[in-house]
Amino acid sequence: MIRHARRKISVLVAAALLALSVAACGDGDDDSSTQELKPGQKVTLEFWSWVPGIDKAVDLWNSENPDVQVKLSTITVGTSGGYAKMYSALEAGNAPDLAQVEYQELPSFLLADGVEEITQYGASDDADKFVDWQWEQVSFGDEVYAIPQASGPMAMFYRQDLFDKWGIEPPTTWTEYEAAAREIREHGAYIGTFPPGNSAWFTALAWQAGARWFGTDGDDWTVDIDNEATRKVAEFWQRLIDEDLVKTEPDFANGWYKDLQEGQIVGWVSAQWGDAILRGNAPKTAGNWRVAPMPQWDDASEFASANWGGSSTALLKGADYPEEALDFAVWLNTDLEAVDLLIQGGYGWPAASDAFSGSVLDRADPFFGGQRYNEVFADADEHIDKSWQWIPTTSQTYEHLNDGFQAAIEGDGTFVDAVEQAQGLTIDDLEKKGLPVAGE
C-alpha cells in the first residue's frame, strides 16, 4: 500500500505545486500586453479541441496560412476533464490561445475570467455570418466572448429494420413512444436508455417541453429548474424506468455501444452529431437506421425540438495574438471547405448561417438507408426555443441532477425529488460563488 499512498501524495503535491507556480505567475501575467505582428513575422497559435476531424480543417488552414500556424492539441471532451485541464492551465498562466468551449460552459469561463472579450478585436463584424440564436449563446451584455461553432438540434434515431419486423411505427408523440417502448420490450429489446449520469440529455428534453431553467432579471440570475414542464419530463421517465421500458445504463459507454451493435437498444433520441457516434460505434448496423422527428408532448401547441450540445471556439485569456486567433476562429467556423471537413468529422450542426443546403449534410446517406436524414434536423433546428440561457455553475447543476437520478434509480427518492433538490442546490451554488440570485 505504500506506493499507493505515495503515489496519491505525489499527485496532490504536484497539484499543490501547480497552484504555487500559479500564484507566482498570476501577478505578472495580467499586464502582458498583446503583441503587434511585424511584417514577415511568423506566429504559432495553440488550439485545444476534442472535435473529431478538426485536425483536417487545421491542416487546411496551415497550408493556406504559412505565417499564422495553428498547433492543435487533442484533449479529452470538456466535461470529461478537458475543462479541468483548461482551468488549471489558465490558473498556471500557460493556457492555449484558442480552445473548444461548449455554450453551457461559457458563463463559467467568463466568471473565471478565462476568455477574452473579442468585441474589441472586431468580432461583431462577423455576427451576420452566424445563426442568430447561436450568436446569442456567445454574447453576454453588449460583448461577444467566443465564435459559435456548432449546435445539436435533436430528433430520433431508430432501427427501421427492427421496427418494421415488429410492426412498430416510429412514435410521433411521447405517449406513442411509451407504447412503442412497451411493444419493443415484448421482443426483448429496449427503445433506449435513460442515462442517469448524463443530465445534459435530460436538460435538452426539459428544454423541448418548454422549461426555461435559467435567466437574468436585471443584475440577478434567475433559477427555475423545478417547474411544471421539467416535472412532466421527470415523471415520464420515472414511469418508463419503473416499468422497465427503458434501460438505465450510461450512454457513450461500452455496454451501451454493445447494445446498439446487437440491436438490444433500437432507438436514440439524440442530437444531429449522434450520427457520427452511431457510424463509429455500430458500423455493422449501416443501412438500418433512420431518423424521425423528436416525439412531441400531447399538450404542445406547436412542433418543438431542442438542442443538445453546442460549441464555440473561444480565445482564452492571455492569447498573445488575438487578432490572428480571431481570424482563425471565424475562418474555421464559416469557411465552406473547413465547415465541410468538420461536418464529415461529425462536429454537429453548423453555426454558420446557410451552411446546410449544398453542403455534405444535404445529401442521401447510405448509413441511413439513403434517407436525406439531415432534412429532419434542418427542420428541428427551425423549431428550437432560442431564448435558453446558461448560468456560470451549469456543470454543478448537471452533477446535482446526476446524483438525484442515480439515487432515484437505486430506489432512494424519485426523479421529481431530484429536480426539486437541483433547484435549491443550484441557488446555493450561485450564492456560494458570490452571485446574486433573484428572489433569494
Partner 1 sequence: MRRHDARTAAGFLAPFGILFALFFLLPIVYAIYQSLFTIERTGALGLGGEEQVFAGFDNYVDALQEPGFVDSLGRVVVFAAIQVPVMIVFALVLALLLETASARGVPFFRTAYFLPFGVPGVIASILWGFLYVPGVSPIVGALDQVGIHVDFLGGDTVLLSIVNIVTWEFVGYNMLVLVAQLQSIDPNLYEAARVDGASGWHIVRHIKLPMVRPAIVLTTVFTIIGTLQLFAEPLILKPVSTSISSHYTPNMAAYNEAFSNNNYHLAAAEAVLLALVAMVLSFGFLRLIGRGGDRR
Contact footprint for partner 1 (CB under 8 A): 1-5, 7-9, 11-13, 15-17, 19-20, 23, 80, 83-84, 87-88, 91, 108, 110-113, 140-141, 196-197, 216, 219-221, 248-250, 252-255, 258-259, 262, 264, 392-393, 395-396, 399, 402-403, 406, 409-410, 429, 432-436
Residue with smaller CB distance to partner 1, 114 or 153? 114
Name which of 156, 159, 263, 241 is nearest 193 in CA terms: 241
Residue with smaller CB distance to partner 1, 138 or 384? 138
In the complex, the smallest distance separating the C-beta of residue 194 from partner 1, rounded to whole angstroms, is 10
Residue with smaller CB distance to partner 1, 143 or 176? 143
In the complex, the smallest distance separating the C-beta of residue 403 from partner 1, rounded to whole angstroms, is 5
Residue with smaller CB distance to partner 1, 162 or 179? 162
In the complex, the smallest distance separating the C-beta of residue 292 from partner 1, rounded to whole angstroms, is 26
Residue with smaller CB distance to partner 1, 96 or 295? 96
For the record, the C-alpha cell of 8 comes out as 496519491
Residue with smaller CB distance to partner 1, 136 or 220? 220
Instruction: Spell out a b/e string for 63-86, using b for 16 or more CB atoms within 10 Å of the CB, else e.
Output: eeeeebebebeebeebeeebbebb
Q: Is the backbone of residue 439 left (phi > 0), alpha (psi -120 to 50) or beta?
A: left
Write the DSSP symbol of residue 217.
E
Task: Answer yes or no: are the C-beta atoms of 327 and 169 closer than 8 Å.
Answer: no
In the complex, the smallest distance separating the C-beta of residue 237 from partner 1, rounded to whole angstroms, is 14
Write the DSSP symbol of residue 172.
S
In the complex, the smallest distance separating the C-beta of residue 407 from partner 1, rounded to whole angstroms, is 8
Task: Answer yes or no: are the C-beta atoms of 310 and 102 closer than 8 Å.
Answer: yes
Other C-beta atoms closer than 10 Å to the C-beta of 418 total: 28
In the complex, the smallest distance separating the C-beta of residue 85 from partner 1, rounded to whole angstroms, is 8
For residue 48, the one-letter residue type is W
Residue with smaller CB distance to partner 1, 416 or 435? 435
Residue with smaller CB distance to partner 1, 238 or 402? 402
CB under 8 A, 24+ apart: contacts of 84-90: 85/48, 86/48, 86/114, 86/316, 87/112, 87/114, 88/18, 89/316, 90/114, 90/316, 90/317, 90/318
In the complex, the smallest distance separating the C-beta of residue 249 from partner 1, rounded to whole angstroms, is 7
In the complex, the smallest distance separating the C-beta of residue 253 from partner 1, rounded to whole angstroms, is 5
Which residues have a Cβ under 8 Å from the Cβ of 209 and sit 6 or more positions away? Answer: 229, 230, 232, 233, 297
At residue 168, the 3 state secondary structure works out as coil
Measured CA angle at 163 (ends 159, 169), to 5 deg: 115
For the record, the C-alpha cell of 316 comes out as 482564452
Task: Answer yes or no: are the C-beta atoms of 93 and 29 closer than 8 Å.
Answer: yes
